[in-house]
Amino acid sequence: MDKRIGFIGLGIMGKPMARNLLKAGYPLTVYSRGRSAVEALMADGAAGARSSQEVAERSDVVITMVTDTAGVRQVILADKGALAGMRAGGVIIDMSTISPAATREVADVVQARGVHFLDAPVSGGEGGAIAGTLSIMVGGEVEVFGDCLPIFQALGKNIIHVGGTGTGQLTKLCNQIAVAVTNLAMGEALVFAAKSGVNLEKMHQAISGGAAGSWQLANLAPRIFRRDFAPGFMVKLQQKDLRLVLQEADRLRLALPATSLVHSLFNALETRGAGDEGTQALIKVLEQLAGVEVKA
């Protein structure tokens, strides 16, 4: 592989994504706030760095995968950030989920320095990151997207260039609306079945193959049955994304009643101290309202 890749942010999603770049044969330099994550990738064959700037100095393309908008600004634009180390003509790809408006602002600063920028958030959770089957929605210059396509192909399967800068983030927010509201619909179906005495596993099998089938029903319902609330995607990160949705909806003067409701229910879940659990934990709020437990 001719491009040297830098990867910043080795959390639940970033670590397996970085590993897939190594498997694809890319020379990789990594940095993360947690040194243990950097050392784990070094054991797999990556080079470790002590700052985002150092990553960029060793790379042609730098990928950022961090928690939120403030984190993206920090690792790209701050002192010792990636932009300080990028050569003109290099590429920064932000694969985090952040504010579309902030994305455009960061892109303007990056491009003014002669560096290309793509916003490329992902969907598919930890499982998709590990398997290299993520959906990747990319905004930015189409020529730069084409040049970076082999990199994206090491990380995902459904890779779509959706438009100009910021449209990747807007598309990801569409994704989060659909994901969160479907999670709520699934949860209501499960508590209805539990309360009415229907066999949960047989009900699940019966409806999964029809029009009600969804990723959430296939992947999250079995975990709920086992009372497994370990995160593939944390509640607090889902809430961060839903706040971005509702901020953008407010700017557009747009009513999103179902999204607003699920955001409120996740607030109730966070009040119970479940912010670090997986989003399937939404069922706990519905169970409390229904006076029933969804358990196989």
Catalytic residues: 172
**Alpha helices (runs of H) in the chain, residue ranges in sequence order:** 14-23, 35-44, 52-57, 69-77, 82-85, 100-112, 125-131, 142-153, 167-196, 200-208, 215-219, 221-225, 235-252, 257-271, 282-290
Tell me if 29 sits within 8 A of 7, measured CB to CB: yes
b/e map of 145-169 (b: 16 or more CB within 10 Å)? Answer: beebeebbebbbeebebbeebbbbb
Report phi then psi at 272, rounded to 5: -80, 0
- Distance between CA atoms of 164 and 264, rounded to whole angstroms? 32
DSSP state of 32: -
**Residue 8: how many CB atoms within 10 A of its CB?**
32
Tell me if 279 sits within 8 A of 262, measured CB to CB: no
Tokens of 271: 């009040």
